[in-house]
A and B are shown apart, each in its own frame.
Chain A
Amino acid sequence: MTQPTPPRTDVPAIEIAGLYKRFGDNEVLKGIDLTVKAGQVVCVIGPSGSGKSTLLRCVNRLEEPTSGQIRVEGIDILDPEIDLDKVRARIGMVFQSFNLFPHLTVLRNLTISQRRVLGRSKGEAEEIARANLERVGLSDKIDAYPAHLSGGQQQRAAIARSLSMSPDMMLFDEPTSALDPELVGDVLDVMRALADSGMTMMVVTHEMGFAREVGDELVFMDDGMIVEEGNPRDVLANPRHDRTRAFLAKVL
């Protein structure tokens, strides 16, 4: 029985309340409240150092929050009793620097955690891997090593790797920031198709076009706080706060 249970839709996918995070004396998140509903695409923008990555990394506890609450599909993930690995297996994460495993072929990158974490058989894992590589347009790279892929291909392979775990939601941390401009489009296309398929997504990005067209919700962060939040078109066209306006004036 390896068929993944379908994502829950009766509770929010991600519910963050009163989240604080400090690195030593540096308070990076200062009371974040944010809800991502199942099937929603929430984009997070904001200046460098505003805490976007830290917020995202708290959601799968790559970063340990100082205080506050985070619920993923209704489960309190800060509960010390929780099986964190199980929670993480349901949350895909895509990094700015791809982080493919360089010692494994693309296929093995996609199958290793299916087999070791989900206990899928070799045949099943490879079948799922193939399907996801096809989805991101990389079927011909199945036996290549990551070093032989372009940045854009690596990032699409990384997305396929996360998808192969059949996650209920995906977190993206500036997935296109490390890419040459001409490679950004392919990755964004994959993400757009993923959003269209109904995947719950939380996306830290500088791609305002993507945020406007694909996002259901846009969150502007500055200095560890959510300054403004709303429909992407509204926020981008009529920012209500000065800080949002100043930021958008710089990036648009």
Chain B
Amino acid sequence: MRRTTRRRLTRGAMYALFVAAIGLIAMAADWERLRRVFFQLDVAREQFPEIVTIAAKNTVLFTVISFSGGLVLGVTLALMKLSPVLPYRWLATVYIEVFRGLPALLTIFGIAYVLPIAFGVRAPGGSVGAGLVALIMVAGAYIAEIVRAGIQGVPKGQSEAARSLGMSPARTMFFIVLPQAFRIVIPPITNEFVLLVKDTSLLFIAGSTLLTKEITTFSRDAVSTSGNATPLVMGGMLYLLITIPLTRLVAVLERRMAKTR
């Protein structure tokens, strides 16, 4: 009885402190100026519909492209890294170490500018294409490590059972190990996806045209043309509108799958 009373008191005090802090901040802030710089309705209105039909669409599109490509590359690299063939292992290890170690910005820059100069080749799709190739390469390195850990997280007894039923190594991997590894990697892969959503903002370094702007580039350009920071706030909200529903969805999916485990 006394213990619950004390707990209730502590909780009450914490709430009071929290409310007081918020209130203090709210009072100290210059709301009129904030509104003028960050929440101009007419500036906001000007961004439509392009901020959705071009910027948000591109962010989603570029994320999906680099994630899909990165997934294929990552699974391939993970299988190489776990292969009994030494040169495969070696190649995968070097690749992963290099592209995880380099800043994504530098990789994009390298693919977009250095490769064409050095070898005279251009990535398909112009500068955005080059940037996307670079993002796929970076995502592949990260996803490879996630998938490798997932594969190794599947108990050895699983592949032993499959092999003793006569399944080949490839079938064992495909039908028994990978589906289970997939469940293990859902949380870290979601994380990687969210990181990619934001990394698409690095594509500007490869150069972007009016039609290839993603949210960050679009907002920044809108800030310089309008002289007002409202587009930044809108851009931020768009990112959250993409990432939060996604992570919620994955959480639901994960809870569903946990039931069969």
Chain A contact residues, CB within 8 Å of chain B? 60, 62, 85-86, 88-89, 91-93, 95, 97, 99-103, 112-113, 116-118, 145, 147, 158, 161-162, 165
B152 at the interface (CB under 8 A from A): no
Q: Who on chain B is nearest to A87 by CB?
A: B166
Find B180's partner among A103, A147, A161 (CB 8 Å cutoff): A103
Q: Which residues of B contact A165 (CB under 8 A)?
A: 165-166
Is A101 touching B166 in the complex (CB atoms < 8 A)?
Answer: no
7 more contacts with CB within 8 A, not counting A62-B163, A117-B165, A117-B167, are A92-B164, A99-B158, A103-B179, A113-B167, A117-B166, A145-B260, A162-B165
Is B160 touching A88 in the complex (CB atoms < 8 A)?
Answer: no
Chain B 219-252 interface 0/1 with A at a Cβ cutoff of 8 Å (1 = within) = 0000000000000000000000000000000000
Interface 9-mer from B63-71, B168-176, B210-218: B168-176
Is A102 touching B180 in the complex (CB atoms < 8 A)?
Answer: yes
CA A112 – CA B180 in complex, angstroms? 15
CA A162 – CA B163 in complex, angstroms? 12
7 example contacts (A-B, Cβ-Cβ < 8 A) are as follows: A62-B160, A85-B166, A91-B164, A95-B160, A99-B161, A116-B171, A117-B171
A104: min CB distance to chain B, Å: 8
Is B166 touching A113 in the complex (CB atoms < 8 A)?
Answer: yes
Q: Which residues of B contact A97 (CB under 8 A)?
A: 157
B131: min CB distance to chain A, Å: 37
Q: Which residues of A contact B166 (CB under 8 A)?
A: 85-86, 88-89, 113, 117-118, 165
Is A147 touching B165 in the complex (CB atoms < 8 A)?
Answer: no
Which residues 91-117 of B sit at the A interface, judged by CB distance below 8 A? Answer: none
Find B168's partner among A85, A95, A99, A100 (CB 8 Å cutoff): A85
Contacts A62-B160, A99-B157, A99-B158 known; A88 to B165 CB distance under 8 Å?
Answer: yes
Q: Which residues of B contact A101 (CB under 8 A)?
A: 158, 161-162, 176, 180
Is A102 touching B261 in the complex (CB atoms < 8 A)?
Answer: yes
Q: Which residues of B contact A145 (CB under 8 A)?
A: 260-261
B89 at the interface (CB under 8 A from A): no
CA A91 – CA B163 in complex, angstroms? 11
Q: Who on chain B is nearest to A114 by CB?
A: B165
Find B183's partner among A85, A93, A103, A161 (CB 8 Å cutoff): A103
Q: Which residues of A contact B260 (CB under 8 A)?
A: 102-103, 145, 147
CA A99 – CA B158 in complex, angstroms? 6
CA A161 – CA B171 in complex, angstroms? 17
Q: Which residues of A contact B176 (CB under 8 A)?
A: 101
CA A99 – CA B180 in complex, angstroms? 13
B214: min CB distance to chain A, Å: 36
Q: Which residues of A contact B179 (CB under 8 A)?
A: 103
Which residues 136-193 of B sit at the A interface, judged by CB distance below 8 A? Answer: 155, 157-158, 160-168, 171, 175-176, 179-180, 183
CA A225 – CA B168 in complex, angstroms? 32
Q: Which residues of B contact A113 (CB under 8 A)?
A: 162, 165-167
CA A95 – CA B155 in complex, angstroms? 13
A136: min CB distance to chain B, Å: 17
Q: Who on chain A is nearest to B258 by CB?
A: A147
CA A116 – CA B166 in complex, angstroms? 9
